[in-house]
Amino acid sequence: MVSGYLFDAYPKNDKMVIWIKAENGKTIRLEDSWTHSIYVAADGKEDLKSLAQNEAIKHYAKNSEFVLRYEKITDHDMRRVLKLDLADSQKAIALGNAIEGINYDAFRLYNVDVLPPQAYFYEHDLFPLAKCKVTESKGSLKWQVDDDLQATDYEVPDFKIIHLDAKHRQEARLPRFTDKLDSISIKFANQDIEIRNESEAEALDNLVREIAVLDPDFVFTADGDESVFPYLIERSMINQMQLVLSRESMPVESQKGGITYFSYGKVMYRPSTIMLHGRVHFDTHNSFIFDHSSLHGLYELARLCRMPLHTTSRATIGRCLSSMQFYCAFKKKLLVPWKPVNTEKWKSYHELFVADRGGLIFEPVVGVHENVGEFDFAALYPSIMRKRNVSGETVNCDCCPGSKNIVKELGYHICERKRGIVSEALELPLDKRAKYKKLKKMFPKGLKFQTYETRQGALKWIGVVSFGYLGHANSKFGLIDSHIVVCAIDREVLLLARNVAEDRGFNNLHGIVDSLWVQRMGASKEEYANLKEPIEQATGYDISFEGIYKWIAFLPSKNNPLVPVVNRYFGCFEDGNIIKDRGIETRRHDTPALFSRFQMEALQIMAKGNNIKEVKALMPKVWDLYQKYKQMLQEGRVALVDLIFTKNLSKDSAQYSVNTAETSAIYQLMEEGKMMQGGQTLQYVITDYYRKNSRKRTTPVDLINDKTIYDSRRYIELLAETCNSVTVPFGCKLKPNDGEAMQLV
């Protein structure tokens, strides 16, 4: 018997390999003769029988049997489906494709893209870092878990952590895989090891030896997925060596290139990943894990989602959420469809109109306002989903037409008999987050506080993303209908809250998703705070009083000053002069640091004003600040690192043709052999903006050198725009490149 913590799991041929971190710090490798299974449904039972006998299928499946499962989330009865146990867990997609190749229309496929380690965890009720005892008998493992997902004080073993990097002997302006290896650095605890040998083969050999001796659990890299490891693999191949860095005695494998995909209407890029079987590789460029302290967030997520640490560190929150739903489905004997199904019912014009309004209900009153109170509902969307049982199968269910859980605005009803998968999967993360927030208050500082804070922070995103995921194309158990239902209930809740405020003489200025801004001239802080309780009573959801703004500006659309836009505002709270802002330059990740800093400083000057009149009187000071920044730009004193624009590319390099500032940077990278893919981030500085025919309008960050000079004229224009974003609401506007003083507008 082995006892310790479940550390890593991955499939290998017809086995599942498990690594246990024992309490004495040793790592133990175990094997379980287990493979992943996929399921096939068809209308004709004969079709399934002959499928099971098909030679091509037998090649992939070592075993087949008929079992009872719920095929669709809305089904009330189980049906007989064909279960195929794979000969090799990693061939699920190949088997899926083979079945579709036999008859695409006849068969419906399930659980094909559930990753084998996850399926193994669901089946055995396991999760990463679970404290457990394992007994081996005849090639099979028996598990006893002495741990609980509800636990907030679970133990985590001490892991040995190293940081790995490789330096090139660079032959061109950008590092290439054809460069010879210069040196390898390994950092751990307080030690640095540098491997530098005349012969590459020797250096790589030393690396393999050092890793075997150090035997780390976690290997951190900066861009190990796309750069450090692929480069080292390439160098090993050239030297005809095998690069064994995993605990499993097999060489590190290069994966196929990264992929570009769409998510929430945005082009995203996912790099390929490098696995170190039996160790965990964290790539800080490809993960939310950026340092050791963020590891506690990862542990918590990996446990709740039942996904290996390697996978969780690179997963989107949507994938984490899916895994929790898959586990619920597994427990209910419900199958997970391979390809998304769309069973939306036809909608009338009225329904579409009502449904399309999303979370917006009260457009902001554009302009600056004084003495405004803000109220925020806590995690409103996920709370609605949980409380009202919103899930793909519960909206307009056919088992309870007389349900009292009704969405008035839409005339929809929600199931009262079955717990929806989406709402059920949210219970654990929502509950645990609430627990950590409470614990945080009990330990207001120190290591415990940090741990709870990191864990609740990681769980927060599950709630935030859960709503968007309901209507997302990759979501297996949410439907657009349930998305619409959440929006409608949200509007109901905000309306109720507004009514409470209005009954007490407050004006509503703006309301969106889960926030409400109300105003009553002369109302005291206490009078504002007193709104909390009646709002909670009327709505049934927790709300917090965020405070009173001395002044707040709701901004119009950039293109049309008459059109209000939601979520573009800035204001200053009474207490402590704290600035809160959304949708302006300081907030945006694509804005050069200089502009963010300038705007923040300008707002800090304005924060000294207690009302609109006082802020207006401070405008000359903002003007002085602007002059100071302008002069720095003019004199070339600003560091290039403060002037970098960051853009998320919407397509691949080769597809860009129009000459813009952005494409000029892309072309230069292409000339140096670096192709960009849609979804990747491009960073550049503006160097000669107005030379329309020049390819040197901008310079990509990778190609910056001593001779690079920024275009001060263009940066000054943009500085003025940044200034105007915050001063125009107070009646002051700068004209770029001219005017000795600010003008009134």
Would you tell me which residues interact with Zn ion (CB under 5 A)? 397, 399-400, 415, 417
Query: Nearest distance from residue 398's CB to Zn ion, in Å?
Result: 7
Can you read off the two tokens belonging to residue 241? Answer: 């060596």
Give the pairing of strands 280-283 and 218-221: parallel
- Name which of 399 and 745 has its Cβ closer to Zn ion: 399
- Name which of 384 and 415 has its Cβ closer to Zn ion: 415
**Residue 280 three-state SS:** strand
Query: Nearest distance from residue 402's CB to Zn ion, in Å?
Result: 10
- Name which of 300 and 393 has its Cβ closer to Zn ion: 393
- Name which of 76 and 350 has its Cβ closer to Zn ion: 76
Between CA 192 and CA 201 the distance in angstroms is 21
Between CA 247 and CA 261 the distance in angstroms is 32
CA end-to-end span of the chain, whole Å? 79
DSSP 11: E
Query: Nearest distance from residue 651's CB to Zn ion, in Å?
Result: 45
| Whole-number Cα distances in Å, 591 to 567, 583, 642, 690 | 18, 11, 10, 20
Between CA 241 and CA 260 the distance in angstroms is 32
- Name which of 415 and 425 has its Cβ closer to Zn ion: 415
Q: 327: exposed, middle or buried (C-beta count within 10 Å: 0-12, 13-18, 19+)? A: buried
- Residues near 295 by beta carbon (within 8 Å), at least 6 away in sequence: 289
Contact 584, 602 (CB under 8 A): no
**Residue 43 three-state SS:** coil
Positive or negative CA dihedral for 631, 632, 634, 635?
Answer: positive
Give the chain's length.
Answer: 745
DSSP codes joined into one string, 369-385: EEEEEEEEETTHHHHHH
- Name which of 415 and 720 has its Cβ closer to Zn ion: 415
Query: Nearest distance from residue 420's CB to Zn ion, in Å?
Result: 10
Query: Nearest distance from residue 251's CB to Zn ion, in Å?
Result: 54
- Name which of 482 and 599 has its Cβ closer to Zn ion: 482
Query: Nearest distance from residue 401's CB to Zn ion, in Å?
Result: 8
Can you read off the two tokens belonging to residue 299? Answer: 């542990």
- Name which of 418 and 630 has its Cβ closer to Zn ion: 418
Query: Nearest distance from residue 416's CB to Zn ion, in Å?
Result: 6
Query: Nearest distance from residue 544's CB to Zn ion, in Å?
Result: 34
Angle at alpha carbon of residue 732, lines to 726 and 734, rounded to 5°? 85
- Name which of 399 and 741 has its Cβ closer to Zn ion: 399
Query: Nearest distance from residue 396's CB to Zn ion, in Å?
Result: 9
Can you read off the two tokens belonging to residue 297? Answer: 């967030």
Contact 84, 102 (CB under 8 A): no
Give the pairing of strands 406-407 and 412-413: antiparallel
Query: Nearest distance from residue 291's CB to Zn ion, in Å?
Result: 47
Q: Which residue is nearest to Zn ion (CB)?
A: 415
- Residues near 687 by beta carbon (within 8 Å), at least 6 away in sequence: 696, 697, 698, 699, 708, 709, 710, 711
- Name which of 357 and 417 has its Cβ closer to Zn ion: 417
Residue 504's Cα: distance from chain center in Å?
A: 40
- Name which of 415 and 638 has its Cβ closer to Zn ion: 415
Conformational region of residue 549, where left means phi above 0, alpha means psi within -120 to 50, and beta covers everything else: beta
Query: Nearest distance from residue 486's CB to Zn ion, in Å?
Result: 18
